Chain A
């Protein structure tokens, strides 16, 4: 069953359209992530669901009940949509203590005082803020404020949580912990989570399904993290899901040659199509680097030691690619290479794109 269904939603501001004819459904109980570059309209979409904005066209259903359907005069106010919302800018109330901030939804719902206190303290414990409940937001760090916002959204046991970059200000460790925490809560309480972010790592780590939005606010692909990562529907998704390498490949007499040279690309599944100009896309992690053996011959153009990894820029007949190798492995297999050293490249995964189409996508 869908907890959220958006049908033909369009929304724009006087000078520019943001979302056009957008359709999206989110299943009950899942953790759904909306991924997209900054400024693509993620926050706008969330605000439409929450009822802070009204679309120019389209309908929104929550639990199969229409909440926004302007054609039929329906626009349920936010407070009756039964949501928990965490805002990108925290929005904790500066005139209330941590405790009062978190207790507010319960106060509005007329929960008895004793129970209110118990639930708030439990929530404070979950987000790791014990001992800080009497502080005012001005006495908290950005990360702590974010946790207050999270606790406030969760305390009322909403069936649907909307999270707008809720972890952007936490340090790496805490972010990982909170991300796990959100996932746990979501499983335990059966909440549906709609999580909005431009950080693909978080998106992939906790979601059941992911939607990728492009710069124009159109959804390019929806699928499990695995599908998105392994079977990107198009160059945009592929490019967005990791630092992509693109090698120019040209078809000459049925052979696929790399760059301007004469080495055929060592890959069994060659693309079919009319065009002669192709691009092979792959992630740095899909490249195997060696000193000799079968593969493409190239030259190291840049070598960066980044601590745990070595980062190389390799040139193959006028075309460039980047690859990384863990430092300890590089030492073990004698792959600490100097600039100018020859090397051999082979691939674990390749995605084929037509060169002209790719250029269009990347230049947007």
Chain B
């Protein structure tokens, strides 16, 4: 057994895997994005920057751009303040029930913001909104107390659903921060305010900024909230404009080209944001923040303890409980506009959408099968690509590393436009108006999640575990099967759920790609709501919320069992 029998190395296998990985990323992500760039700058048969600029200067496109920027900036600032404040409150003060509050502040992560937007429209629309009506009818107000159809309204709703990005990052940083840093400052006589200003804030600043940039990126390219709340007053941002133009014109050249140009703006902003985030995260805050969990010194709130607690509960009640309850209540009404009295409420709508109404039944079926298929495919593709990036030593890996970054910086609306350009027949394959085009788009959209979860899991697998198998006589395939896959399972499972759950409520991509028979849950809720079928759309939203929360419970259960 000692004499080497095989003179040839396993070059073949490694090359095949590398090639497959590159091919997947090129076909699914790089090619569509390239087509967008190409269409943005290429007119007929030449490169035409002047034309591109003239389109950007058109009032419509220009306004979409500035709106995207205004809304994203307001949402980012608001979320950062809210997220940082609550993070500080639950980690560094003696506020009661901080564990409960911490999990409540993470709930908006699960809730789709466009469903929230629908709820807030019913509560705060200027004339019919329940809260506005209550103030006008019973408290003698002359006009609405708050108009949700405004920049402020849209940003406020986005803040409610996006602040957890900052919250979770800052909580993490504050919990991991070595308390001796603060203690030594205190021993040397610094007051609490000085410590907060000179030590705490500089240390958590990278986390705050990194969360804020994520929100900026998300908000600029976000469709749902703006589409639901902006339409009345004609407020639209980049993704909404792309959607409307392409939908109205049935995919004309003009609309596609304008979409490509706007999408290019999104891609470039995203690239800048991702670059800035990496830069900030690499500026050494990890050296100061250890990996261990400390019990940080807690600030005594004294007299403010109870008022602040009540404030938190009010916030949770107002921004999380109230909209959710309204969705379920409206979903139970026989006709929209009736008061919520027992005789007007029933489960009839829920039964109708689940069993009798083919639009919603199809939508649920489509979303579940699409989400499941996309999750399985993306999970396996992601584990393979991450394996090459994290573990393999092959020439040409640099290309893959670059391609692997791409999914992180391509917003959903860009992907949707890209797959339209790539798969509507210009290149021999026409998937337009079929579920397959949505599937391809989902895979592209969620590849980043899969790469992240899988490479994190693979990084935990020390190289020597694989080498030990090789030394025991296992071929590369055997070591993959016996060692890598079993150890990568938690990461793959995480990837699966990270894709499956969000895809159940996906709107941004599906809305650009759906055909009458290929609506997803998100599309059905949105279009039913647009068509004035408010109660049906709310009932479906309620069902979606139940599925999502149940799914989240299953994940948490799995995670606990796996000790993650």
CB <8 Å contact, B1 and A158: yes
The answer to whether A89 and B462 touch (CB under 8 A), given A63-B2, A63-B3, A74-B7, is yes
A156 nearest CB across to chain B (Å): 7
Cβ contacts under 8 Å, A156 to chain B: 1, 472-473
CB <8 Å contact, A105 and B3: no
A32 nearest CB across to chain B (Å): 16
* Interface flag for A31 (CB, 8 Å): no
Contact among A50, A65, A91, A109 with B4 in the assembled complex (CB-CB below 8 Å): A65
* Interface flag for B5 (CB, 8 Å): yes
CB <8 Å contact, B473 and A91: no
CB <8 Å contact, A78 and B487: no
User: In the complex the two chains form, what is the Cα distance from A340 to B325 in whole Å?
Assistant: 89
Cβ contacts under 8 Å, B476 to chain A: 77
Cβ contacts under 8 Å, A153 to chain B: 471
CB <8 Å contact, B4 and A83: no
Cβ contacts under 8 Å, B462 to chain A: 89, 91
Cβ contacts under 8 Å, A76 to chain B: 4, 6-7, 9
CB neighbors of A among B460-482 (8 A) = 462, 464-465, 467-476, 478, 482
Q: Which B residue's beta carbon lies closest to that of A3?
A: B2
Q: Which A residue's beta carbon lies closest to that of B472?
A: A105
Contact among A62, A79, A87, A160 with B473 in the assembled complex (CB-CB below 8 Å): A79
User: In the complex the two chains form, what is the Cα distance from A42 to B57 in whole Å?
Assistant: 65
A-B contact number at CB 8 A? 93
User: In the complex the two chains form, what is the Cα distance from A62 to B3 in whole Å?
Assistant: 8
The answer to whether A78 and B470 touch (CB under 8 A), given A93-B483, A94-B487, A109-B1, is yes
CB <8 Å contact, B468 and A95: no
The answer to whether A91 and B2 touch (CB under 8 A), given A76-B7, A79-B473, A104-B469, is no
* Interface flag for B189 (CB, 8 Å): no
Contact among B7, B464, B473, B475 with A105 in the assembled complex (CB-CB below 8 Å): B473
Contact among A63, A75, A78, A95 with B471 in the assembled complex (CB-CB below 8 Å): A78
CB <8 Å contact, B474 and A91: no
* Interface flag for B10 (CB, 8 Å): yes
CB <8 Å contact, B472 and A108: yes
User: In the complex the two chains form, what is the Cα distance from A94 to B562 in whole Å?
Assistant: 13
User: In the complex the two chains form, what is the Cα distance from A83 to B483 in whole Å?
Assistant: 19
CB neighbors of A among B470-521 (8 A) = 470-476, 478, 482-483, 486-487
The answer to whether A93 and B467 touch (CB under 8 A), given A76-B7, A76-B9, A80-B6, is no
User: In the complex the two chains form, what is the Cα distance from A259 to B10 in whole Å?
Assistant: 63
CB <8 Å contact, B473 and A109: yes
* Interface flag for A300 (CB, 8 Å): no
User: In the complex the two chains form, what is the Cα distance from A25 to B486 in whole Å?
Assistant: 39
Cβ contacts under 8 Å, A81 to chain B: 2, 4
Interface residues on A, range: 35 or more
CB <8 Å contact, A108 and B464: no
**Which of B9, B469, B476, B482 has the most chain A CB atoms inside 10 A of its CB?**
B9
Cβ contacts under 8 Å, A67 to chain B: 4
CB <8 Å contact, B464 and A91: yes
CB <8 Å contact, A79 and B482: no
Q: Which A residue's beta carbon lies closest to that of B461?
A: A94
Cβ contacts under 8 Å, A77 to chain B: 6, 9-10, 470, 475-476
CB <8 Å contact, A75 and B473: no
Q: Which A residue's beta carbon lies closest to that of B1?
A: A82
A290 nearest CB across to chain B (Å): 53
B463 nearest CB across to chain A (Å): 8
CB neighbors of B among A140-175 (8 A) = 149, 152-153, 156-160
CB neighbors of A among B5-41 (8 A) = 5-7, 9-10
Cβ contacts under 8 Å, B4 to chain A: 62, 65, 67, 76, 80-82
* Interface flag for A13 (CB, 8 Å): no
Cβ contacts under 8 Å, B473 to chain A: 79, 82, 105, 108-109, 156
User: In the complex the two chains form, what is the Cα distance from A50 to B476 in whole Å?
Assistant: 15
CB <8 Å contact, B468 and A87: yes
CB neighbors of B among A62-106 (8 A) = 62-63, 65, 67, 74-85, 87, 89, 91-95, 104-105
The answer to whether A79 and B470 touch (CB under 8 A), given A89-B462, A91-B464, is yes
A76 nearest CB across to chain B (Å): 4
Contact among B3, B7, B465 with A82 in the assembled complex (CB-CB below 8 Å): B3
Interface 1/0s, chain A 221-255, versus B by CB < 8 A? 00000000000000000000000000000000000
23 intermolecular pairs with C-beta atoms under 8 Å apart: A50-B467, A50-B471, A63-B2, A76-B4, A76-B6, A77-B470, A77-B475, A78-B471, A79-B471, A80-B4, A82-B3, A83-B471, A85-B468, A87-B468, A91-B462, A93-B469, A104-B472, A108-B478, A109-B1, A149-B468, A153-B471, A156-B1, A156-B473
Binding site for A on B (CB under 8 A): 1-7, 9-10, 462, 464-465, 467-476, 478, 482-483, 486-487
